[in-house]
């Protein structure tokens, strides 16, 4: 599973590690004070010293409308004296706030446990060997048609997917589609009498609002409830591949909670559990994807299998790190390993071995920054790419195509990404 070696958090000047909470196959590669979990692979992070003054960044439904009845009084004559009774002020009913027990009983039947079988390769004296492992996560029933929402990293590369319902009934599931950029995926089961969640609005959340999480921590403690509050809004979390907007919470999140629902005080889903930070000195630092950021994307995935109108360059790119830059005498940026010869970038004149150093005039130093600059664009937009080629530089204007994700990447390199 692809990861980035850097882990930086855009909070003060503290370097920690992103812990993507899906328990999957693999082994621990050493112990470290700060670490990242992606699947169950624990990878020791390279801690780069920040430049002086650098701000550190981390290196993967409808609201009920209440209407008031309007009353119009028609006066035939002006009053001759003040009313003897005070006029009552209009009042509004306070929002419903359920207890933890009520929320659990109301929503637990909509939460599922997910088990996957994945293939991975190991190298040794006998060469490269393909093995099988298992992964686990959580999800929630989105509609009565059997569509279930989870994280993309929970089902990424899965050979098979099984879902366990509240009544312990196990069902086979198939992948409908995904959006890696936002770490979301939709899977589907065939079953009657499914109980979908009530989808709320994350835009209504404020710091201090109470939250409830139900999921499958450790891959075996299904139907576990934890609670906390909204600790922060609009945190930019760098998964190593993309920078994702998330909300922060102090609710307990553990391996296996990935993809599970985050409920508000009314029992409506306001987010999808995505990540936590892990360190000997850090506690209660978890993150979830706001539901309002992904509602439209989820509907696109259910209908088309992918998110419509996302920009496509037709390139396979690799980050030129500072070390690679010094070693090969090329600038830092996004190195083009391969390309779609019929893609928009190739048609505009981009070539293999070019290094993209700026997007619309803004300097980029890695693949994540390239993807971030593309996030605000859509199919049909034009983008200016500054590239370094054989020691020289040029600027190329590309008309973006539409990204249609495929299960098979253009290249087999673990640190190369298609855009």
Catalytic residue among 23, 40, 153, 202, which? 153
Distance CA 209, CA 263 (A): 11
HSE (side-chain half, CA atoms, 13 Å) at 269 = 31
Could you say which of 110, 226, 231, 258 is catalytic?
A: 258
147 is annotated as an active-site residue: no
- In sequence order, the 6+-apart residues with CB closer than 8 A to the CB of 146 are 188, 189, 190, 191, 194
> Between the CA of residue 153 and those of 116, 142, 150, 247, 254, what are the distances in Å?
11, 18, 9, 18, 15
Query: Is 64 an active-site residue?
Result: no
Residue 233 in tokens: 């809004």
CA angle (9 as vertex; 6, 13 as ends), nearest 5: 105
222 part of the active site: no
| Dihedral (Cα; 181, 183, 188, 194), 10-degree rounding | -130
Alpha carbons 136 and 157: distance in angstroms, whole number = 13
What burial letters (b/e) apply to 371-380, b meaning 16+ CB within 10 Å? bbbbeebeee
Q: What number of other Cβ atoms are within 10 A of residue 370's Cβ?
A: 23
**Which of 23, 136, 138, 183 is flagged as catalytic?**
183
Q: Is 241 left (phi over 0), alpha (psi -120 to 50) or beta?
A: alpha
The values of phi and psi at residue 336, to 5°, are -90, 110
Contact 45, 5 (CB under 8 A): yes
Sign for the CA dihedral angle at 197, 199, 204, 207 comes to positive
Closest by alpha carbon to 262, among 94, 107, 148, 115?
Answer: 107
CA 391, CA 329: separation in Å to the nearest integer?
9
State the catalytic residues. 153, 183, 258
């Amino acid at each position: 599973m692809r990861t980035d070696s850097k882990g930086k958090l855009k909070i003060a000047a503290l370097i920690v590690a992103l812990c993507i909470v899906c328990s999957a196959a693999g082994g621990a590669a050493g112990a470290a004070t700060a670490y990242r979990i992606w699947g169950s692979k624990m990878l020791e992070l390279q801690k780069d010293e920040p430049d002086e003054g650098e701000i550190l960044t981390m290196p993967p439904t409808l609201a009920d409308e209440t209407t008031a009845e309007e009353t119009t009084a028609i006066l035939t004559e002006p009053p001759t004296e003040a009313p003897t009774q005070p006029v009552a002020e209009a009042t509004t009913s306070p929002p419903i706030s359920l207890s933890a027990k009520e929320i659990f009983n109301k929503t637990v039947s909509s939460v599922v446990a997910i088990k996957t079988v994945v293939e991975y390769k190991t190298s040794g004296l006998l060469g490269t060997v393909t093995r099988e492992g298992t992964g686990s996560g959580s999800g929630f029933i989105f509609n009565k048609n059997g569509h279930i929402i989870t994280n993309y990293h929970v089902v990424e590369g899965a050979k098979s997917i099984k879902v366990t319902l509240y009544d312990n009934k196990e069902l086979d599931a198939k992948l409908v589609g995904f959006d890696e950029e936002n770490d979301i995926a939709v899977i589907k089961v065939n079953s009657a009498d499914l109980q979908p969640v009530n989808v709320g609005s994350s835009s209504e959340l404020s710091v201090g609002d109470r939250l409830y999480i139900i999921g499958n921590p450790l891959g075996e403690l299904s139907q576990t409830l934890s609670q906390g509050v909204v600790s922060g809004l609009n945190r930019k979390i760098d998964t190593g591949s993309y920078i994702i907007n998330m909300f922060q919470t102090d609710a307990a999140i553990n391996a296996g909670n990935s993809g599970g629902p985050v409920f508000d005080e009314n029992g409506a889903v306001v987010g999808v559990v995505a990540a936590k930070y892990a360190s000997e000195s850090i506690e209660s630092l978890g993150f979830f994807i706001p539901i309002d950021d992904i509602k439209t994307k989820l509907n696109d995935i259910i209908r088309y299998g992918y998110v419509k109108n996302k920009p496509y360059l037709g390139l396979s790119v690799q980050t030129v790190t500072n070390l690679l830059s010094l070693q090969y005498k090329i600038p830092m940026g996004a190195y083009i390993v391969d390309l779609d010869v019929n893609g928009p970038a190739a048609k505009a004149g981009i070539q293999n071995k070019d290094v993209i150093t700026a997007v619309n005039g803004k300097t980029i130093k890695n693949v994540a920054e390239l993807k971030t600059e593309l996030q605000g664009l859509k199919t049909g937009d034009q983008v200016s790419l500054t590239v370094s080629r054989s020691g020289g530089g040029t600027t190329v204007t590309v008309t973006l195509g539409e990204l249609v994700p495929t299960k098979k990447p253009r290249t087999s390199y673990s640190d190369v990404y298609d855009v």
